[in-house]
A and B are shown apart, each in its own frame.
Chain A
Amino acid sequence: MAAAVSGIGYKRAAAWAFSAPAILCQFFFGWFPVLFAFYVGFQRYYFVKQPEFVGLRNLQSVAADPLTVTVFQNTIYYSILSIGLTFIVPIFVSILLMEMSRKTIRWMMLLWFIPVASTAGIAIWKYLYNPQLGLLNGILKGIGLPALKWLDDPALAMLCLVLPGLILFGPGLIYIAALQNVPEELYEAAELEGAGFLRKVRTVTLPRLRPVIAMMLIFSIIGSMQVFELPFIMTGGGPGYATTTVVMYIYNLAFLSYDLGKATALAIVLFFVIMTIIVLQRKFFREDLDT
């Protein structure tokens, strides 16, 4: 009995010992910055001098800033485009791809994976969009169409930022992996019932993908609401403020205007906006296969 207890104790100690480094990392690099942000958000924060408590003044400043509305509008617009093009489209492309031979699927997965080194991909896209030297305008001119301004056109710029995500097919790879785990018997049963391709998609494929879609949707929402590197590298937030996103504005406030208090207050607002969206998504989009 004693030996069994000490065995359990040993196992528990070992479990804590193995988990402790990860938990500590999660605390110091994950939770602690979030907690600290709530402290900084209510301070006039200096890098050298002692911070001053300013109550809700940073939040008031965020609320009174006309750019706050602009950057949230831009971010939501980007999220809609991004989720529409790089989250929903790959679901259907993956489903269609599953109809092809195993060899083709493997090749396509490999080819999609190559450009996933996204920073390099972003830099290349910047040159593809170049109005004078870029490949895209070269093609348009080649087929007799007028050249476009791409990133220099405020109406097109945000779409231009989203398009590389469509080619860098990250979510598609995950859907294909999930689709390969759908039991063949389910499709066979559906075929015996007389289901065609579309009906199989509706009754078998999509329901089986639901947990993956739910998870990917959360990642997509969080990722797109926090987009930074794309506009930072490709447009610097311009033209005007057409592609300035919330996180980019937070960066500008913190490290170009040195207003860490206001930047953190805006980050807190973003945190609650994302939390609200996720809570609503979890409430209305059940991932359980049996619901």
Chain B
Amino acid sequence: MRTLLLLIATGMLLAGCSRPKSAVGSAPGKELTPEQYQLLSDKDKIAYKNVLIRVPETWGGALLPPHKGPYDSTIDKAVHGGDIRTLMGLYNQALFELRHPRVKVEYIPFDMWSPTFPSVLAVAISSNRAPSYYIARDLPATIEKGMYADLTDLMKQWDQYLLQPEGSRRQGTVNGRIYTLAGNELGAEVIRFRKDWFKEAGIFNEYGEPGPRTDWTWDDFRAIAKKLSDPSRKRYGYCGEMGDFKSTGGTGVDYYIPDPAGKKTWVFNQDDPLILQALQRSRDIVNKDKSVNTSVSTTWYEWHQEFDAGHAAMIQSFAPHVPNEFLRSPRKFGEDKPYGDTVGMAPLPRGSSGLSGMEAITNPVGFDPTLSKEQLAAAFEWCKDWFYGDAFANRVRQANADARAKGNVSTVYSEVLALPYKPNEQMLDKPLAEVFPKDYLRTYNIIRKSPAKPLPREFGLKEPGKRDMDRAMIAMYAEAITTQIDLKALLAKTANLVNATQLNFRGKDDAANMQRYLDARSEYYRKNYPRFFSTAWQPRLTKFYVVR
């Protein structure tokens, strides 16, 4: 009995000594400042952190090495192994948590670049194990599937919202609600080319540098590819996936147009002669000119290896990859061939009436729709910090220090070149103009200035999934290239397929919305591409864009 009383008394004494519970639990709405948070016990600190955000390791996070090896701990391994990137990742994690006491940041392995990403993401969302944010592909179909949280309120309060490329803002907006945030890598599809081969062949741009003109057309592209092909040296003018050819039809041609019968929203654009022309050109450059190397069995990565191995003069790439590679592998083509003198970057060719298909895009970021309001706000803050805030500045410092120690150029310059946001401070050792070749900077200027086309979704019109349409178009171009099928029959076959599947829908108020959308398109062309507007758009508008 005496022992029991003693235990009760000791318990009461300890309870009296402990911090009042109200500091943590009894006032759930009360936010502690970072200073107040520091006064909590370890146990209370853990309990107070109840807003969890999961950051993917490949996109903002940094994981410690999986094994400690001969070191005492994995942190020791990072420290003694000179892995300052990971350590800076941990520093940023701690700094963010210090500033946001209720938030706990967890770095998780999550690969967003593999072909299995969509299935992995679907399962992760369903099982509440998804990262707090991830790349938003196949818009707007995935928005309609409810795969992203609504960011409208957060976006409207954000001072850098308007700095995002217009195209990116439009991509993630449906019916006035915003679902995606532009990632930190602004770019566009560009042509990467061999400067040394252009020089050998005497092909120079308007600035007197080896390379295509910045306003080159698909016909120029075809002639250049033919000129640079040299079977005796196993060289092609161009190499790439069959899907690349759909861009040749993308200069002003829509693959789907308003349904003239008014039964569905859209139908496949079967009769437009420009599509027929694009198919014919693709077939000819592969089979007649034999200047393009393409195959269904070769992947994007393998084509880039072909280009690097000196088997092709041109290849289509996403713009940020070129400056990144320039910094990462400056001697990739040999000691006597510096990357910047060997590999150039040019915008995609235009259509014959001057329309550019180039659109500035970023990898849009979508947020897990199952996040609570607090989690969403925290994840959004994390992205801002990572894109241009203190986490960004710390990464720049770390990358610069790393490069100085190793005696090379920091790869962070390419990140800054492609950054759509405005960092808080200027932290580079030297200006970008001193780092990159002129054609890289010029192409980036063109990308930044490229206007963004209005999108149907902004006018309340439903669109097919981009990836679904792309797949159907890739199949059409592949069939045009690998068979002798009559191209009109191929268009009819594709129309039959696409109309029955991807375009098999009709929305409310389609006619009125469609008219507003087409008016916006007309205005866009009139303002940005007057020659295309008068010679190509207006005649086709009256012929193929009948609104019912």
Binding site for B on A (CB under 8 A): 46-49, 64-67, 126, 129-132, 149, 151-154, 157, 234-236, 238-241, 251-252, 254-258, 260
> Smallest distance from the beta carbon of B242 to chain A beta carbons, Å?
7
Known: A65-B500, A154-B479, A258-B142. A239 touches B242 (CB 8 A): yes
Known: A130-B298, A258-B142. A149 touches B482 (CB 8 A): yes
Known: A130-B297, A151-B295. A239 touches B500 (CB 8 A): no
Q: Does chain A have a CB within 8 A of B369? A: yes
List B118-140 residues whose CB lies under 8 Å from chain A.
118-119, 122, 125-126, 138
CB–CB B118/A153 < 8 A = no
Q: Does chain A have a CB within 8 A of B21? A: no
Known: A65-B501, A154-B479, A256-B471. A239 touches B296 (CB 8 A): yes
> Smallest distance from the beta carbon of B172 to chain A beta carbons, Å?
16
CB–CB A49/B500 < 8 A = no
List residues of chain B with CB within 8 A of the CB of A241. Answer: 475
List residues of chain A with CB within 8 A of the CB of B465. Answer: 257-258
CB–CB A153/B138 < 8 A = no
Q: How far is the CA of A257 from the CA of B479 in the complex (A)?
A: 22
A-B contact pairs, 17 of them (CB 8 A): A64-B500, A65-B500, A65-B501, A66-B497, A67-B497, A130-B297, A130-B298, A132-B293, A152-B295, A154-B479, A154-B482, A154-B483, A157-B296, A239-B482, A240-B482, A252-B471, A256-B467
List residues of chain A with CB within 8 A of the CB of B474. Answer: 238
Q: How far is the CA of A235 from the CA of B242 in the complex (A)?
A: 12
CB–CB B478/A257 < 8 A = no
CB–CB B147/A238 < 8 A = no
Q: Does chain A have a CB within 8 A of B31? A: no
Q: Does chain A have a CB within 8 A of B145? A: yes
- Chain B, Cβ-Cβ closest to A257: B468
Q: How far is the CA of A255 from the CA of B18 in the complex (A)?
A: 53
CB–CB A256/B296 < 8 A = no
Known: A130-B298, A153-B482, A239-B296. A257 touches B467 (CB 8 A): yes
Interface of A, helix, strand, loop or mixed by DSSP:
loop
List residues of chain B with CB within 8 A of the CB of A151. Answer: 295-297
Q: Does chain A have a CB within 8 A of B260? A: no
List residues of chain A with CB within 8 A of the CB of B497. Answer: 66-67
Known: A234-B297, A256-B467. A240 touches B125 (CB 8 A): no
Q: How far is the CA of A238 from the CA of B480 in the complex (A)?
A: 12
CB < 8 Å A-B pair total: 98
List residues of chain A with CB within 8 A of the CB of B145. Answer: 46-48, 258
Known: A47-B147, A48-B146, A255-B119. A152 touches B479 (CB 8 A): no
Q: How far is the CA of A211 from the CA of B237 in the complex (A)?
A: 58
CB–CB B295/A130 < 8 A = yes
- Chain B, Cβ-Cβ closest to A64: B500
CB–CB A66/B500 < 8 A = yes
List residues of chain A with CB within 8 A of the CB of B126. Answer: 47-48
CB–CB B500/A152 < 8 A = no
Mask of B135-174 contacts with A, CB within 8 angstroms, 1/0: 0001001100111000000000000000000000000000
Q: Does chain A have a CB within 8 A of B491? A: no
Q: How far is the CA of A235 from the CA of B475 in the complex (A)?
A: 12
List residues of chain B with CB within 8 A of the CB of A49. Answer: 146
> Smallest distance from the beta carbon of A78 to chain B beta carbons, Å?
16
CB–CB B482/A46 < 8 A = no
List residues of chain A with CB within 8 A of the CB of B482. Answer: 149, 152-154, 239-240
Q: Does chain A have a CB within 8 A of B496? A: yes
Mask of B204-239 contacts with A, CB within 8 angstroms, 1/0: 000000000000000000000000000000100000
CB–CB A240/B467 < 8 A = no
Q: How far is the CA of A154 from the CA of B476 in the complex (A)?
A: 13
Q: How far is the CA of A66 from the CA of B145 in the complex (A)?
A: 24
List residues of chain B with CB within 8 A of the CB of A239. Answer: 242, 296, 475, 478-479, 481-483
> Smallest distance from the beta carbon of B375 to chain A beta carbons, Å?
15
List residues of chain B with CB within 8 A of the CB of A131. Answer: 295
Q: Does chain A have a CB within 8 A of B324? A: no
Q: How far is the CA of A130 from the CA of B295 in the complex (A)?
A: 8
Q: How far is the CA of A49 from the CA of B234 in the complex (A)?
A: 53
Q: Which of A46, A65, A157 has the largest number of chain B CB atoms within 10 A?
A: A46
List B435-481 residues whose CB lies under 8 Å from chain A.
465, 467-468, 471, 474-476, 478-479, 481
> Smallest distance from the beta carbon of B167 to chain A beta carbons, Å?
23
Q: How far is the CA of A236 from the CA of B470 in the complex (A)?
A: 14
> Smallest distance from the beta carbon of B305 to chain A beta carbons, Å?
11
List residues of chain A with CB within 8 A of the CB of B500. Answer: 64-66
List residues of chain B with CB within 8 A of the CB of A254. Answer: 119
Mask of B342-376 contacts with A, CB within 8 angstroms, 1/0: 00000000000000000000000000011000000
> Smallest distance from the beta carbon of B270 to chain A beta carbons, Å?
15
CB–CB A152/B296 < 8 A = yes
- Chain B, Cβ-Cβ closest to A66: B497
CB–CB B297/A47 < 8 A = no
List B162-207 residues whose CB lies under 8 Å from chain A.
none
CB–CB A240/B122 < 8 A = no
Q: How far is the CA of A141 from the CA of B471 in the complex (A)?
A: 34
Known: A239-B242, A256-B118. A152 touches B483 (CB 8 A): no
- Chain B, Cβ-Cβ closest to A127: B297
List residues of chain B with CB within 8 A of the CB of A132. Answer: 234, 293, 311
